[in-house]
Chains A and B, each alone.
Chain A
C-alpha cells in the first residue's frame, strides 16, 4: 500500500473534525493508522498538519505565550487580530502559556504563521 502523505491524512481529519464528528474517534483512528504503518514519530507533525488544515475549515488553533497572565481584554483583541488575518475564520481557539523569559509583550504561535511581539526578541534584535 502506498504511504499516505501527512497532508492528505490531515486534510481528511480536518474535514471530519470540522464536520462535527467526535474528536476522540477521529484521533483514535489516526493513532491506529500511525501505529500500524510504523509512523508513530510523526504524531506531533501530524497534529500541526491537522491544525493547518483546520484553518481552511474556519478554525484557527494557536498558542499565546506571554510574560504575564493576559487580561480578558487582551485575549479579545488577539482573537479579533487573528480573525482579521485569516479569511472566513469563525472560531479561534487559543492556548495560553506564561513564560517570564519574554520580559514583556506576547508571542502568538499559529499553525502556519507567527507573531513575535515579545520584548526579549526586540532586545535581541537591538543587540544583534
Chain B
C-alpha cells in the first residue's frame, strides 16, 4: 500500500513537472555583470526592447527589472524590487512583454503599489484585463474639446478657474500651502455630488503616514469606494516612484475608454522628476539643467498628454489630471515648474502669504489661470462669477495701495469693501466642498451688494444663514439650481429667491 502511494506521488510529481514544461525551451539569456543602487547592467540579450521586462534568476527567486539603456555592449536595467537579492553572474531572461498593470473596476476602493499589488492587506486583486504602463496618448481625431464641468466644490476654483473633464490643471505652490487639500476636497466632492467620476490618487514618495491618513479620511467621507490609491513611499526604490504615475494613468484610462470619467491626482511631480533624475544619473545619462536628464520635459509631457476628453465615437469618456508641483520659496521659474506649467491647461497657484493671513484656500487670483475650463463652467456659476477674478485682482492691488493713506474716494472705498467681503466669502474650510447652488447663491449675494451692510468678519456667518434659509424654504428650486443649467441674473426666479433670503439673513448681522 505504502509503495503504491509513493508510486502515485512520483507520478503526480512527474505530471506536475511536465505541466511546467510549457515555459521551457531555448530562451534568450544574458548575465548580470554589475549591480548596485537599483540598477543592473546586463551582458547579452541583444533582442531586448526599450522598457521591456527582464527576469533575473536570483538565489532568492525571480526579480523583475526593465531595460532602459540599450547600449552596444550592455543593457542598463532598473530593478523593480529589492536589488540586494541580485548579484553579478545571475542569469537574465526576457519576459517578452513590456510592463503592464491590472486595470478594472476590481481596483476601486483599494490601495495598490505601481505594479497593482495590494498594499491595504486586502485580498489579491484579480482583474480581467491588464494594460501597458506606457501607452501613446489619444490622437487628434479621437479627442473632443473640454466642455463638461469637473466641479471641485471649492468656490474660488469653480467660479474663477473652472476645470473641465479632460483638462490638465496644475496645482502649484510652496510646501504647506494646501495643495493636497484642494485635491482631496475635489475627490470628496465627486462622492458628495454623485458625479460618478472615479478618483485615482497617486502618491509619489509621500510619507506613508500621510497616505494612511488620507485613505482613512476618504473612507470617512464615503468616497473610497470610487477611489484607487496608488501609493509609493520614500523608502521605495526610485523605479517604483518613476512608474507610479504611468501605472495609475493606465488604470484611469480603463475608465476613460469605457465611457467613464476619471480624475487623476499626481502628488507630486516634483518628487517624480527627482526619482527620474536619480535613475538617469545611475544609468549614466548626461545631466543637464539642475542635473535633470535631457528628456525630463518628455517625462511629464507624455504622461499628461494621456489625459483627454474622448470624441463621441470613442465613447466620450474623459481623464482629467490635477498634477501637483512643489515650489521652493514661491519660485515658479525653476526648471520643473516651468516645464509642467507649459504642458498643462492652466495652474492654480497657492501663496504662502495668503495661507498665513488665514485666507484658505490660499489661491492667488493674479497668478492662477484656467485656459480651457471656460466652456466647461456651469451656466449658473458662469452667470454670477464673471467679474469675480478681475474684481478680486483689482481689490488686492487697491488694498496694497490704500495702505498709504485713508483719504479715498467713495468708489475706491466701496470696491475695497466689496473685495474684503469677497475674500471672506471665498474662504472655505477643508473637507467642506460646496454644491453649485450654494456657490451661486453666495456669490450672487455678495456681488449684488446684498451683504454690503454686513461687516467683513461676519460674512461667513451671514453666508451660512443664507444657505440654511434657502435650503429650508426652497428645496425644490435649489435642487433645480444645483443642476447648473439656469442663468442667474436679476429678475430671474432663483435670483429673486436669493435676494429675499439674503436680505433676511443680512439683517441679523448688520453692524
Contact = CB atoms under 8 A, between A and B. Distances in A.
Interface of A: 5-7, 45, 48-49, 52, 85, 108-117, 119, 122-123, 125-126, 128
A115 B29 CA distance: 9
Nearest to B45: A112
B26 A126 contact: no
B46 interface: yes
A5 B72 CA distance: 7
Given A5-B73, A48-B44, A122 B29 contact: no
A72 B102 CA distance: 49
B43 A115 contact: no
Given A7-B72, A114-B91, A45 B17 contact: no
Given A116-B24, A126-B16, A6 B73 contact: yes
Given A7-B73, A113-B29, A114-B27, A126 B17 contact: yes
B20 A85 contact: no
Contact of B17 (A48, A111, A119): A119
Interface in B14-47: 16-17, 20, 23-31, 33, 43-46
A52 B44 contact: yes
Nearest to A8: B72
A126 B23 CA distance: 13
B86 to A, nearest CB: 17
A111 B26 CA distance: 12
B455 to A, nearest CB: 72
A45 B43 CA distance: 8
Nearest to B29: A114
Interface residues of B, number: 23
A115 B24 contact: yes
B28 A113 contact: yes
Nearest to A122: B17
Contact of A115 (B26, B31, B62, B72): B26
A110 B26 contact: yes
A128 B55 CA distance: 15
A15 B43 CA distance: 21
Contact of B29 (A6, A112, A125, A126): A112
Given A112-B45, A117-B24, 8 more contacts: A45-B73, A108-B26, A112-B29, A115-B25, A122-B17, A126-B17, A126-B20, A128-B62
B20 to A, nearest CB: 5
Contacts of B46: 52, 112
A21 B73 CA distance: 25
9 A-B pairs with the lowest CB-CB distances in the bound complex, closest first = A114-B29, A5-B72, A122-B17, A6-B73, A115-B26, A113-B26, A85-B26, A7-B72, A125-B20
Contacts of A49: 73
Contacts of B26: 85, 108, 110, 113-115
A48 B44 CA distance: 9
14 contacts: A5-B73, A7-B73, A48-B31, A52-B44, A109-B29, A110-B26, A112-B44, A112-B45, A113-B26, A113-B28, A114-B93, A125-B23, A128-B61, A128-B62
